Amino acid sequence: MLIGAHVSPAGGPANAISRGEERHCTAIQIFNQSPRQWKGRLYHDEEVAAYREALDGSPVKGLLIHAIYLLNPASEKAEFREKSLEALTLALNAGEQLGALGVVLHPGSALKSEDVDGAIKRAGEVIGEALAESGSCPLHLEDTAGAGGTLGRSFEELAALIEASGGGKRLGVCLDSCHLHASGYDMRTEESIAAVVDEFDRVVGLDRLGSLHVNDSMTPLGSNRDRHINLGDGEIGAAGCAAFLSEPRFDGLPAIFEGPGFKGKAVEPEDIENMIKLRKRGVTARKKR
């Protein structure tokens, strides 16, 4: 498993590598542009070269790009869908430039809860077009906590989104432990997590699983509220986080802790050290069984 954090790419993507190294990461996640602004750009050749030089020989072995929060490919407004298409295509092309393991996308939301099928269709059209207009970088649809009309709250919705987007090989999934728990998938024990992964394999397919977000949940099972808390301090707890991090079918995947972090502002080395310890605890527990 590649363990890491969401870090800032301020000053260029090469700086994200050094920030990952400072935090003892073997994987990192970045935004390719300001997450709260539409305006973005591709990287200059010099930035790409500096990034690849920084990556060469680094303990950081994998990069994810998180698409900006403004995106809603399921919007009923054509103008908003067009903006979402442009931003998603840009993120995928930026991922291509940097050799990213994938772009992580919140699939969008339906304005009306009764319009989920229509929202999935609209999102699928935008996602499919973005894939067609970009290179070969994979796209990972992230499961959601289920608040409001957010799409991807269940494995069935993720499967429907993949189908609506064309079902191509570039389409994958990013599973977030906090979102899963908030949506009613129990993340607290080895047994419950194994059952959830079995269900994911049945409905979506493990071959679609491309990345993980490892966050504890401030709110209870099935709350439909997306509230992250530091690993071991929430409703999932240390035992659940350890079990999630050591699930054998997750081996080799990038696993990103997004925060808030011990200091409450950003992920620090202590947070990643805690994550590594929890994984070791989970692996040890499994060996004793």
Burial of 132 (0-12, 13-18, 19+ CB in 10 A): exposed
From 23, 106, 122, 170, active-site residue: 106
CA distance 142 to 45: 30
- Residue 234: C-alpha distances to residues 211, 214, 221, 241 (Å): 22, 12, 11, 10
CA distance 216 to 200: 20
From 22, 46, 53, 69, active-site residue: 69
Note if 226 is an active site residue: yes
- Residue 216, strand partner residues: 229
Note if 66 is an active site residue: yes
Note if 140 is an active site residue: no
Note if 44 is an active site residue: no
Note if 106 is an active site residue: yes
From 23, 81, 213, 281, active-site residue: 213
From 129, 143, 157, 176, active-site residue: 176
From 76, 115, 125, 258, active-site residue: 258
Note if 181 is an active site residue: no
From 153, 208, 228, 279, active-site residue: 228
- Residue 209, strand partner residues: 173
From 6, 47, 81, 142, active-site residue: 142
Phi, psi for residue 73 in degrees, rounded to 5: -65, -10
Cis peptide before 260 (omega within 30 of 0): yes
From 19, 140, 179, 281, active-site residue: 179
From 66, 122, 140, 281, active-site residue: 66
From 226, 235, 247, 271, active-site residue: 226
Note if 51 is an active site residue: no
Q: For 61-76, give the DSSP string.
A: -EEEEEPPTT--TT-S
CA angle 57, 63, 64 (to 5 degrees): 175
CA distance 35 to 54: 24
| Residue pair 143/196 in contact by the 8 Å Cβ criterion | no
Would you please indicate which residues are annotated as catalytic (active-site) residues?
36, 66, 69, 106, 142, 176, 179, 213, 226, 228, 258
